[in-house]
Structure 1
Amino acid sequence: MKAIVYKKYGSPDVLNLTEVDKPIPDDNKVLVKIHAASLNYGNLVLLKGEPFLARFAFGLLQPKYTIPGGDIAGRVEAVGKDVTQFKPGQEVFGDLSASGWGGFAEYVSVPENALALKPENLTFEEAAAVPMAAVTALQGLRDKGKIQAGQKVLINGASGGVGSFAVQLAKSFGAEVTGVCSTRNLEILRSIGADHVVDYTKDDFTEKGQKYDLILGVNGHHPITAYKRSLNANGTFIHVGGSGAQMFQTMTLGSWFSLSGRKKMSTLLQRQNQNDLIYVKELLEVGKVKPIIDKTFKMNEVVEAFTYFEQGHAQGKVIVII
């Protein structure tokens, strides 16, 4: 089968389209013929081996997982004898980040708990945009942030993959949502339900005096003290993405602030979770959440896809058609 393979850490140029052996599913695995995959921040970590601490999980000197790609959508080709949830022919989508990755390939063999039935109202490309980004947003808002109806919630980096799902999920929980993005993305945020939008090229939300019950930091370079200043007395800040300095501050100063006061500040490590994916699937099927896709690339354009994605200005998700 064809797959995107890399043997050393580096820029997108180390990625190569080549022929590899088609996997054979074990007794407890599902063989999926992949139709589409999407890019996430985790793909850049895998590619570059940065931050360096990630190499203790992904390979210290060279990549442990040589076929990147976490989010997929496709059709079940075969199942092992112990698989109970799926059968050949069914359309599925899933997150491979806990199963050895491998999404940028024509086929992948994965445990059944990495998958869920694809929403019937989504194309393969739309479904591939969902798993990791939507579940990250869900876990940040619901599990870490303890979101409640009526709360004032701010999403910084609201027009990207995780951010666009976070806006919609926060609305589904009944929150009053403010999205922060650049000028060109303001209408996208309004179209997916943001109650208020802030153009960071013109205004700094941390200097406006507005207080929020929950802030999800998906992108940006604000110091942790600026986020703290923007929280209500019992507010919560969850770091999902942003600068390395910001993550370090959240893990150190944020922990101290949380222990010494009522404001809570922590960082999220997303975990693949089938139940969470099914939860999002149900919201997708009733139209409460929809994927936002920026650009679609062919498999032989994966270097261009990664190059575009790492610039950090995607409006929603970047998709690779397998």
Structure 2
Amino acid sequence: MASEEVLHSFTMPAAEAVRNTTLGALAGAGTDLQDTWTWVYTEWAGEDALFLWTVFFLITSSFFWIFNLGFNFLELTGQPAYLLKYRIQLKQKPAVVDRAVFFKCVRTVLHNQLAIGIPFHYCLLPLLLWRGGLYDRALPSLPYALFDLAMCSLAIEVGFYYTHRLLHLPYFYRKYHKIHHEWRSPISISSIYCHPFEYWLSNLLPLVAGPILMGSHFTTAMFWVMLSTASGSIAHCGYHLPLLPSNETHDYHHSQFNQIYGPLGILDTLHGTNRRFKASVHFLRHFTLTGSTPAYVLVPDKSSKDEQTVTE
């Protein structure tokens, strides 16, 4: 009994200290963020909408290229060679991407960002201002921001799934979506390599649906767009890398075309558009790697007989 009391006397103050330190750090971080936002809000009073929306576009567009720098270097040089073993389509995906094909992708992406993205952003601004909440002086609380992000995730699941399935109908696929599927073994920036109509319909609209519906604060909306940008690039990079979210699902979509249409898998399960994926070895590899061993080594390919059964 005495030993339990001694242990209690040590553990309780330690736990309380950790709790107080954590809460203090979060409160301090929140105060610093609020002070920074208040300064920006005050400094640009009267011009905040136009200025901040310009900043929003510049930051989120620049983030796309900055986030993809490492992937681009790997795709153009094959270095560091140590990472090549993490290619999902090991036989189909080249170690080094053809430069002409790569820069064709760059030109298409830049065209979408500038010719479609800029007008879209500024046409969207009045709607966001009407919806309210975007430029509030007070930052949202952490629980409220997390709730907004959860709702944005559901909104993009619905919006992207159904627009994506629409683009796979024969007419829309031939006219628009086929461009995106030129990349059967995709690279990171091919996430927005697509026809301008597709970029508007299936990339931008589902992305902003959540912030519009929720009346999200500017900071929450910007974080959401950057999070989605990173997720889309990882989904298309073609590498199942340690500690990154598994991208086996969307890579499987690019190799098989008619499986896995949504980002979360909720509607794929509801509509049965992931049955072949779930019956394949790629589903067994659909987990986050925590070690250095590639997923295809941890979960080897099935026999040709098994694969034939899956295909059928």
TM-score range, shorter chain: under 0.3
User: Comparing both structures, which one devotes a greater share of its residues to helix?
Assistant: 2
TM-score normalised to structure 1 length: 0.27
User: Comparing both structures, which one devotes a greater share of its residues to strand?
Assistant: 1
